């Protein structure tokens, strides 16, 4: 994808004889195309398609180099063909069953989307003063971008901006949805919730074995009776009751965590079409 197309230039407007819209509804674009073609059909073709052919021919070499660069980037750096887990969740070389890979892989990709992809998107066309806010290096955007620059602040600023978008254009002032959040804003709000859940809530959840008291109880029983199945027969009725009580608490926490994890994965799947730049 190019950042500039000759068919969208002032020169193209001059050839076409009709200035191209900056923004517009689908109906407005249809009307513009019809009007432009009716006025100067050949000139319209020359500006819209002829310039595209010419640009492809002139830019063949840089386009080819660009494609090679992005293949290398996608294949070995960003690895867009795979879902990957952060080493905090699955250490390289560590075995993890398929069902246990879903949660960390999906949410690690969400983190990369926010902190890498959206961070780039937020500064790609920003003014120099805005870029300076994030101290973005030269390889964070533009032709030299290699998709390794990470900036949580820039990604969250992008989401917070998107989350405030509303239907407030003049052409929809009489529509029932006027003033309401746009679909993009609704998805951004959900992405923010999921990102915060994974990076804060999930990371700071109490460990069930510790929070329930199960680890402390087992340590106390092992110290008193030793390890092994035979130790259970040595416990008093009260100690066995305590053992059951703390184990029930632990299992209840684990069940709640499992339900929460599943709910969040489902929410992430539902918002997947909003994960684009």
The closest of 3, 78, 274 to 159, measured between CA atoms, is 274
Give residue-wise pLDDT tens across range 207-251: 999 999 999 999 999 899 887 766 777 889 999 899 999 999 999
- Mean local confidence (pLDDT), 255-270: 98
Q: Is 74 a member of any domain?
A: yes
Are residues 189 and 244 located together in one domain of the fold?
Answer: no
Are residues 174 and 245 located together in one domain of the fold?
Answer: no
pLDDT of residue 168: 93
Query: Who has greater pLDDT, 4 or 251?
Result: 251
Q: Is 123 a member of any domain?
A: yes
- Mean local confidence (pLDDT), 7-24: 91
Q: Is 99 a member of any domain?
A: yes
Angstrom distance (rounded) from CA 224 to CA 247: 19
Are residues 9 and 91 located together in one domain of the fold?
Answer: no
Query: Who has greater pLDDT, 76 or 90?
Result: 90
Are residues 75 and 198 located together in one domain of the fold?
Answer: yes
Which residue, of 12, 35, 58, is where some domain finishes?
58
Which residue, of 202, 220, 235, is where some domain finishes?
202
With beta carbons less than 8 A apart as the criterion, state whether 179 and 172 touch: no
The closest of 261, 257, 267 to 101, measured between CA atoms, is 261
Boundaries of domain holding 189: 66-202
pLDDT of residue 78: 82
Are residues 104 and 180 located together in one domain of the fold?
Answer: yes
pLDDT of residue 229: 66
Which residue, of 58, 76, 97, is where some domain finishes?
58
The closest of 158, 246, 234 to 210, measured between CA atoms, is 246
- Mean local confidence (pLDDT), 254-265: 98
pLDDT of residue 1: 63
Are residues 30 and 121 located together in one domain of the fold?
Answer: no
Residues paired with residue 166 on neighbouring β-strands, in sequence order: 181
Are residues 126 and 243 located together in one domain of the fold?
Answer: no
Angstrom distance (rounded) from CA 240 to CA 150: 51
pLDDT of residue 131: 82
Query: Who has greater pLDDT, 189 or 22?
Result: 189
In whole numbers, what is the pLDDT of the chain averaged over residues?
92
- Predicted confidence band of residue 205 (pLDDT cuts 50, 70, 90): very high
Give residue-wise pLDDT tens across range 101-130: 999 999 999 999 999 999 999 998 888 887
Distance of CA 188 to the CA centre of its chain: 10
The closest of 253, 250, 260, 159 to 202, measured between CA atoms, is 260
Are residues 175 and 219 located together in one domain of the fold?
Answer: no
Are residues 104 and 176 located together in one domain of the fold?
Answer: yes
- Mean local confidence (pLDDT), 165-191: 93
With beta carbons less than 8 A apart as the criterion, state whether 25 and 171 touch: yes
The pair of three-digit structure tokens given for residue 49, joined into one six-digit string: 């398609």
Angstrom distance (rounded) from CA 274 to CA 183: 9
- Mean local confidence (pLDDT), 15-28: 88
- pTM of structure: 0.83
4 has pLDDT over 90:
no
* Domain count within the chain: 3
- Predicted confidence band of residue 157 (pLDDT cuts 50, 70, 90): very high
Are residues 197 and 240 located together in one domain of the fold?
Answer: no
Q: Is 265 a member of any domain?
A: no
Are residues 141 and 24 located together in one domain of the fold?
Answer: no
Angstrom distance (rounded) from CA 134 to CA 120: 11
262 has pLDDT over 90:
yes
Are residues 92 and 196 located together in one domain of the fold?
Answer: yes
pLDDT of residue 226: 84
pLDDT of residue 211: 97
């Amino acid at each position: 994808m190019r950042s500039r197309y000759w068919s969208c230039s002032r020169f193209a407007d001059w050839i076409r004889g009709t200035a191209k819209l900056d923004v517009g509804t689908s109906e407005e674009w249809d009307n513009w195309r019809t009007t432009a073609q009716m006025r100067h059909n050949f000139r319209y073709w020359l500006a819209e398609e002829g310039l595209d052919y010419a640009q492809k021919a002139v830019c063949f070499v840089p386009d080819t180099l660009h494609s090679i660069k992005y293949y290398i980037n996608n294949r070995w750096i960003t690895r867009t063909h795979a879902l990957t887990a952060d080493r905090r969740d699955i250490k390289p070389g560590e075995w993890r069953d398929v069902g246990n890979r879903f949660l960390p892989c999906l949410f690690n990709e969400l983190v990369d989307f926010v902190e890498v992809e959206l961070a780039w998107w937020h500064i790609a066309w920003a003014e120099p003063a805005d870029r300076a806010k994030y101290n973005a290096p030269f390889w964070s955007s533009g032709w030299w971008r290699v998709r390794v620059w990470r900036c949580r602040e820039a990604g969250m600023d992008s989401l917070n901006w998107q989350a405030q978008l509303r239907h407030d254009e003049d052409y929809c002032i009489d529509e029932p949805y006027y003033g309401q959040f746009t679909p993009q804003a609704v998805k951004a709000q959900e992405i923010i919730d999921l990102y915060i859940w994974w990076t804060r809530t999930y990371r700071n959840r109490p460990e069930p074995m510790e929070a329930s008291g199960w680890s402390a109880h087992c340590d106390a029983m092992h110290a008193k009776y030793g390890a092994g199945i035979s130790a259970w027969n040595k416990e008093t009725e009260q100690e066995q009751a305590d053992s059951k009580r703390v184990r029930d608490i632990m299992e209840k926490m684990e069940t709640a965590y499992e339900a929460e994890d599943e709910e969040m994965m489902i929410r992430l799947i539902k918002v997947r079409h909003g994960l684009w730049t």
